[in-house]
Amino acid sequence: VSFTGSTRVGKMTMAAAANSLKKVSMELGGKNGQIVFPDADLEAAADAAVFGGFFNAGECCNAGSRLIVHEAIADDFLAAVKALTAKVAVGDPLDIRTKVGAMISSDHLAKVTDYIAAAASDGVRIYSGGGQLPSNAG
């Protein structure tokens, strides 16, 4: 049995397969880190970080959802990431130029908005976005 999806459904799949001792392989959406050291090519690293975060609108089981950056280059790296992020086309999902379209539901939007608010209240600096786009923006 091969399954890609949520941890909740992964547990259900594992339980169902256990009765007959079926082999199970699962990808449950880990948090993949991208590590950037001081000797890195910052332009290439920033490009890879933005690609990793926004590929397939971030809906990819191997999305680069964690950035671990050496403090000596953090400011320069974040500036490069911010500049590239500003170029990501957000809008109508039916427009071929769009890289990030609308969220699937208002419930999902609320969940993401809550994550952003929780991060901000924990002292995280929001470098790009951080709020809902106007409904006519995409």
Same domain, residue pair 57 and 74: yes
Instruction: State in Å, rounded, how far the first CA of the chain is from the last one.
Output: 38
Query: Nearest 5°: CA angle at 76, between 75 and 77?
Result: 90
Active site residues: 27, 61
Burial 7-35 (b: 16+ CB within 10 A, else e): eeebeebeeeeeeeeeeeebeebeeeebe
Same domain, residue pair 25 and 47: no
* Secondary structure of residue 53 in the 3-state scheme: helix
* 106 sits in which H/E element: helix 106-121
Domains of the chain: total: 3
How far is Cα 90 from Cα 85, in angstroms, rounded to an integer? 10
Same domain, residue pair 19 and 47: no
Same domain, residue pair 137 and 118: yes
The pTM score is: 0.73
Same domain, residue pair 3 and 52: no
pLDDT for 98-123, tens place per residue?
888 888 888 988 998 999 999 999 99
pLDDT tens over the chain, length 138 residues: 998 888 899 999 999 999 999 999 988 877 788 999 999 999 999 999 999 888 877 777 777 888 999 999 999 999 999 999 999 988 888 999 988 888 888 898 899 899 999 999 999 988 888 777 776 654
Full domain range(s) for residue 12: 1-30
